[in-house]
Every structure is written in C-alpha cells, then in structure tokens.
Amino acid sequence: MHYPYYILGLFLLISSFIAPSATIDLIAKIEPSINNDTVVFTNMTPQEGYCVTLPQQCPSEVSINLPLSTKISYPIKANNEPRQGAYFNFPKTEKIITVRNHSTGEPFDVKFRITNFAARYERNIGQQDWIGGSFVYTPDGQGCGYGGVGYGGSVGYEFMWKTLDNTNPCYKISTIDRDEPALFYQMSIGYSLKAKDSLLAVGSGIYDGKISFSVGAGGDFDFGDNYLASDGIVDINLRLIVNHDLIVKTSPDDRILALEPCKNGKVCTQEQGRNNWERWMVSRITPEMTAKSNFQLSSSGAFTVYLQCEYEIGENCALKSDKNEQLVPIQSYLTLPDNIISQQTNNRVIHAPMSIQKDNSNIFISQHIGSNRNGSIDFLINQRNVDTMLMTRPDTYRGVVTVIFDPNIYGL
C-alpha cells in the first residue's frame, strides 16, 4: 500500500537593520618614567584632517579623520532654533575604554574624550551672517568649547574648534534664510587619554580596546534635527603600547660570585670561608654554601623576574664539576626593594624562591616609582649537595646563572 505524501519546502527569511558604521583606528603609547611621576599618553596615529592641511595652526593638537559627513534636510530659517541649523555635539566628556593585553586579556581602563573638532563646508555665502561671527569662532556663550581657527573664502571654509569637558552642544544661529552649508564633510577630531587608575600595576605590552558611539539626534555624535549623518555608528579601535622603565645596576663584584661555607641567610668572606672549612675538618659537620648578589633597581610599573641557566637540575640552576661534570643544584632567592610587592601575596618580596623560567603568576608591582632601590639575590647549596661536592675534592664547580628582569610580563 502506498501512502500519499508531499514534500513541503520551508524557507525562513530573517532580516534586521544594521546601522552603517564609521571606524577610527587609534594608536597611542605610555612610557612611565622613573624620573617623572606624570604619566603622559602620546598619540602614535599619523596626523590627518585639518592639522595636515594647516599644520602651522596645530602646534600641539592631534587631528584624526572622522569618516562622517552630514547633509542638510531643509532650509535654515533666520534666527533658527539651535537644532534646526548647524549643530554639533560629540563625546567631549570622558568615556571609559577597557583595553586588554594582546596576549593574555589582562584589562585596564583608560579615559577617552574628544578635544577638538574640525570640518569643511562649501558655498560660504553670507559667511558673516551668523550670530557670534563666522565658523572660525567657537560659538560664544554656549560653553561648548574655546578658541578656534579656520581658513577659506567665499567658495568654502574649513574650521577647527577646541572643546570643553562638558555636554554642551556647539551651534550657529543664522541671521538670514539660507540653504547652505548644504554639506559638512572632511571631519576630523583630536582626542586625549588618561589612566582611570594607577598604571604601576600594569605590565609593559600591547593592549587593545574598542568603544562604539551612536550617531544621530540625541546620540553621542548629535548633529541636530536638520543635518543627517552618513553613518549611524562611530567605532573607535584603540591600540595602546605600554613601555615601563626598568633599570638594574650591579657591580663587577656582584656579577662574579664565589660560594663560601656559611650559614643560610648569611654571607661569609673568603677568610671566613677558610675558617669554616677548618672547622669542618674537625667537626665533620657539613656546612651550607652561600653567596649574595646585590643590585639597584629603578622601576615604574609591574614586572617579573626569572632565571636562565647554563645547567639545570629539576627546578633549579646547577653548577658543574670540572673533574667529572657532575651537576649539583643551586637554590636562588630574590629580595626586592621596599617599594615593590608581590601581586600574588600583596606583601613585600623577601627571600622568595626564584623560577628558572618565565612565570606569569610571579608578578611584582611597584607601589610607587622608585629609583636606585636596593635588592639582592641569595644563592644556596644545601648540606646534602655540599656532601656530594666534597666526594670529588679537590674540585671546582662552576656555572652561569642569568637573572632576567622583564617588564613585558605577558609577552611571549
């Protein structure tokens, strides 16, 4: 028996409106200095827009293309309401951008705000028929900005205004009926960055973040009710390069060490070491062997410290016998200056075991910038391993231990 059947094809069309967006890519760097408590963000994005056209008018300003334009919808009437004419508002107050380490995702927050705005328009007829003067001037009495520069003539005009840190709009009131400017374009902005919190806990490296701003009436970029924008969103991608100061100074005597028989935590001179060997000849109580390397550290941020070894045994560096190439482990302990704490314990770093490879869980934070602060590394061979060494006497054990202070704590 055959049962009747039919095949039903179903197609589901799902659509949604996605506002077109304009994108700005910014690059900046921070280089905290041990000689200056003030942290300055430096723009690394190439200059564009107004400051490329008229660099002499931009002695210290940043100018980056804002890929927007606005087009008039209806004529401007004399003595217009602000939103019916040339109207501008943008993110002049500080906004938070969270940037994350390129390698690990470790975040920190920066404050972003627009510090100047520039644009061009054509058909500059009646250029003086605006309350408060032409577009070279930031509108008077509105508290939206200050200063202003511009150039052009009867055909077109380009201007730049500096902004104040508030939400007040900038607008121009026309004293005549007009249908121009019909278009504002070639827009550009300047920006500033500040750290929300202390940068001392932030490691050197590359950090990326993004913030999106709405465009349109009542949006972050608001051009009033008459002028319509070419895009509905402005996406700003920020890449931040952090380079901390980290300087280590040592003397030649602190780079070439001879371990002497001594008590753990103490350092013995060569003469004291000879006396301790003589005591061992009588008592046969094996001593430990120690040495200390002192250094001076200047730091402006977070860092990690680890060892690289010529010879290794397990989790320690090692020394090798000249006689039979036997290896014995040497333990290493780090003491850092008193302005530095362990991120893991939130305590000072005193006689802390050292790792023989980069370990991002072993991060140290400068509580405040320090210059030429004293620190040290203690080396120890315990009694059991000294017994091993004595079995081949007379002998010499030697090896190279490299101590790496690394501000790029998350780098590969």
The answer to the question of residue 411 being in a domain is no
Residues 163 and 37 in one domain: yes
The answer to the question of residue 223 being in a domain is yes
Which residue among 203, 218, 243 closes a domain? 243
Please give the C-alpha separations between residue 79 and each of 172, 286, 315, in angstroms, as whole numbers: 10, 98, 80
Which residue has better confidence, 83 or 362? 83
Q: How many CB atoms lie within 10 A of CB 227?
A: 24
Q: Which domain holds residue 170?
A: 21-243
* Average pLDDT score, the chain: 88
Give the DSSP letter string of 174-222: BSS-B----EEEEEEEEEEEEESS-STTPPSEEEEEEEEEEBSTTSSBB
The answer to the question of residue 6 being in a domain is no
The answer to the question of residue 4 being in a domain is no
The one-letter code for the residue type at 150 is G
Residues 284 and 357 in one domain: yes
Does the pLDDT value for residue 34 go beyond 70? yes
Q: How many domains does the chain have?
A: 2
pLDDT band at 19 (very low <50, low <70, confident <90, very high): low
Q: Give pLDDT tens digits for 97-136.
A: 999 988 778 899 999 999 999 999 988 788 889 988 888 8
Which residue has better confidence, 382 or 408? 382
Residues 310 and 391 in one domain: yes
Q: Give pLDDT tens digits for 148-174.
A: 888 887 778 999 999 999 999 999 999
Burial 343-366 (b: 16+ CB within 10 A, else e): beeeeebeebebbbebeeebbbbb
Does the pLDDT value for residue 138 go beyond 90? no
Q: Which pLDDT value is given to residue 10?
A: 38
The answer to the question of residue 11 being in a domain is no
Does the pLDDT value for residue 285 go beyond 70? yes
Question: What residues pair up with 374 in beta bridges, in sequence order?
Answer: 296
Q: Which pLDDT value is given to residue 128?
A: 85
Nearest to residue 53, comparing CAs of 184, 190, 156, 151? Answer: 151
The one-letter code for the residue type at 109 is D
Residues 180 and 287 in one domain: no
Q: Which pLDDT value is given to residue 9?
A: 38
Task: Indicate the DSSP class of residue 252.
Answer: G
Q: Give pLDDT tens digits for 294-331.
A: 999 998 888 999 999 999 999 999 999 999 999 999 99
Separation between Cα atoms, residue 111 and residue 188, nearest integer Å = 20
Residues 25 and 149 in one domain: yes
The pTM of this model reads 0.76
Locus of tokens 């250094």: 295
Residues 37 and 129 in one domain: yes
pLDDT band at 197 (very low <50, low <70, confident <90, very high): confident
Are 26 and 45 in contact by the 8 Å Cβ rule? The answer is yes
Three-state secondary-structure class, residue 173: coil
Tokens standing for residue 20: 């077109």
Residues 219 and 316 in one domain: no
Does the pLDDT value for residue 360 go beyond 90? no
The answer to the question of residue 195 being in a domain is yes
Residues 191 and 297 in one domain: no
Which residue has better confidence, 361 or 305? 305
Q: Which residues, 6+ apart, have CB-to-CB distance to 317 below 8 Å? A: 307, 309, 310, 311, 329, 330, 332, 356, 399, 401
Q: Give pLDDT tens digits for 174-188.
A: 999 999 999 999 999
Tokens standing for residue 262: 């001594």
Which residue has better confidence, 97 or 58? 97
Residues 336 and 371 in one domain: yes
The answer to the question of residue 95 being in a domain is yes
Nearest to residue 238, comparing CAs of 194, 199, 201? Answer: 194
Separation between Cα atoms, residue 68 and residue 119, nearest integer Å = 10
Are 207 and 30 in contact by the 8 Å Cβ rule? The answer is no
Burial 109-138 (b: 16+ CB within 10 A, else e): ebebbbbbbbbbbebbeebebbeeebbbbb
Separation between Cα atoms, residue 88 and residue 229, nearest integer Å = 11
Over residues 271-291, mean pLDDT: 90
Question: What residues pair up with 22 in beta bridges, in sequence order?
Answer: 234
Does the pLDDT value for residue 77 go beyond 60? yes
Separation between Cα atoms, residue 294 and residue 306, nearest integer Å = 16
pLDDT band at 410 (very low <50, low <70, confident <90, very high): low
Tokens standing for residue 327: 């290896």
The answer to the question of residue 10 being in a domain is no
Over residues 338-345, mean pLDDT: 91
Q: How many CB atoms lie within 10 A of CB 270?
A: 8
Residues 391 and 333 in one domain: yes
